[in-house]
Structure 1
Amino acid sequence: MPHLQSPAALPPLRETIARHGLSASKALGQNFLLDEQLLDRIAALPGALRGRDVLEIGPGPGGLTRALLRAGAQVTAIERDARCLPALAELDLAFEGQLRVIEGDAMKIDPARLFTGPYAIVSNLPYNVGTALFTGWMGGEEWPPQWSSLTLMFQQEVAQRIVAAPSTSAYGRLSVLSQWRAEARIAMKVHRSAFTPPPKVMSAMVHILPAPAPAHVSMEVLARITQAAFGQRRKMLRQSLRPVAGAIDALAKLGIDPVRRAETLSIDEFTQLARELS
């Protein structure tokens, strides 16, 4: 096959997938996006990308990668599926100097070691590791993080949990950990028919920006409180938080009624509790 010299020389994504004999792996949580207009819209969600460092997890055959490269981003893509590497190598030729592909497991790679400055994360996340990767990026005691924004594809149910407000059915631990020091919104809903193969559920792009963290609140303590509170969400706080040392006394000090349930507490109330116990 001749070397591709320009983005215009790239064949359609479907042709690339067929030529390399690629198919989405259920074991790797893959679902390919092929609609180039949709992919360009996704790549536009973080704002202007020209010259910016972008991390993509699980690029697969490179549909979103193409869109990010067209937008002018400097893309670092982590892919564990060796079958997809030849297709990504073609993009490296077409967008000379813009793409770095790392073969490996994103769960075992620290993004901070890949970049010297800020970077955006834009990804159609593999469904089987998406939530774990996300909570890892949102975790840690140092804030603001090195990443400047997260623009991520989730199953719609997970996306709704990330942005949920208190006293709603979707509100839970993921909502608190996502919103206590960041702004999260659903930026775009994506119909299941946009994917190959179509998943059984609808999807959504979530866009997250870091926000100032409340003072003197430990991420570790907040994680422990929310795990206990929402781990037994049907129980009153006086029962669900009993295993957390000092939590019942902190409720009394803050004037939070111990007969309330976790889903009725605001994010501010959770951070006040964490501050008392930090």
Structure 2
Amino acid sequence: MEPKEPLPPLRETVRAHGLTASKALGQNFLFDEQLLDRIAAIPGDLHGATVFEVGPGPGGLTRALLRAGAKVIAVERDDRCLPLLGELSDAFPDQLTVIADDAMAVDVDTLTGGAPYHIVANLPYNVGTALFTRWLEPAAWPPRWLSLTLMFQQEVAERIVAPVDTSAYGRLAVLAQWRSQARIAMKVHRSAFTPPPKVMSAIVHVTPARQPEGVDPRTLSRLTEKGFGQRRKMLRQSLKTVAGAVDALERLGIDPMRRAETVSVADWIRLAQALR
């Protein structure tokens, strides 16, 4: 959808407001509107859909989502960005709701009124992983979110989609893959950002899948936290504080002398099922 009035280029708007990226908040701005439109297209048709966005900053990705016809709920803790987002709200009447808060402190399901929604965000580097794991761990499944389209450092993105028995495989991979489908949808060069970060970035797209029966998400979360928290140790050591885990390994035919990164997602699921 087009704005009510033509908008000046984002870079000009940011300059006019004297806004610079905050290192403390993990901000890096994207000004390439064609790139932003490509990111907004990853979830599919967003016309009339509700989208939750974390840390919109000056609103580059927000503009793209609004142009795609989405109704956006954006949570921004940087008060300096609120005037720019207010201008966007005026340009796209009834499409944008801005909440001045910390994303770690809000309940997305409540904000969206219980309706299904997509999450699309260029996540601040300093809270990205914490938010991602929170969205992966609700007790009720499928979740209210329909998809996650999230930008991470490329190293983190590769950990999310990593296969078993690779250096990148760990807790993030298990949490993202045991009842979801995760893929890297796009890589973004560091030069696309202002200021350029020291690392490359990538966008991960996640959609819910069927949850295996008999798995308590809290049990799986604890198992992977313990197992991968001490990667160099054998399972019999890293899981010894989880009641019944070592015995369950023996019953399932999983060698307790293996290390966590050699255990497939399917075997982590079997272990969680054995401990339900």
TM-score band w.r.t. shorter chain: over 0.9
Structure 1: segments with no counterpart, 5+ residues: none
Map 1:79-158 onto structure 2 (within 5 A).
79-116=76-113, 117-158=115-156
Deviations 1:17-68 (A, max 9, x none): 0011100001111110000000000000000000000000000000000000
The TM-score, its normalising length taken from structure 2, stands at: 0.98
Q: CA RMSD in A?
A: 1.0
Q: Which residue of 2 aligns with 1:260?
A: 258
Contact 2:3–2:67 (Cα < 8 Å) also in 1: no
Instruction: Tell me which residue corresponds to 2:239.
Output: 241
Determine the structure 2 residue equivalent to 1:40: 37
- Show structure 2 runs of 5+ residues with no match: none
CA 1:276/1:82 → structure 2, altered by over 3 Å: closer, same or farther?
Answer: same
Deviates more, 1:5-14 or 1:222-231: 5-14
C-alpha displacement of 1:6 = 3.6
Taking the aligned partners of 1:115 and 1:96, their CA distance within structure 2 comes to 18
Residue in structure 2 matching 1:272, options 256, 260, 270? 270
Q: Percent identity?
A: 68
Distance 1:58 1:6 in 2: 21
Q: 1:101-126 deviations in whole A, cap 9, x for unaligned?
A: 11111000000111131000000001
Aligned to 2:222: 224
List structure 1 runs of 4+ shifted beyond 2 angstroms: 5-8
Task: State the SS of the aligned residue for 2:72.
Answer: strand
Which whole-Å CA distance do the structure 2 matches of 1:209 and 1:59 have between them?
22
Alpha-carbon distance between aligned partners in 2 of 1:19 and 1:210, rounded to the nearest angstrom = 41
Instruction: Describe the superposition over 1:45-97 as per-residue Cα deviations: whole angstroms up to 9, x where unpaired.
Output: 00000000000000000000000000000001100111101111111111111
Give the paired residue count: 274
Partner residue, 1:176: 174
User: What SS does the corresponding residue of 1:133 show, helix, strand or coil?
Assistant: helix
**1:54-65 maps to which residues of 2 (within 5 A)?**
54-65=51-62
SS in 2 for 1:167: coil
TM-score, normalized by length of structure 1? 0.97
Whole-angstrom distance in 2 between the partners of 1:142 and 1:253: 29
Structure 1 residue identity aligned to 2:174: V
Instruction: Give 1:250 shift.
Output: 0.2
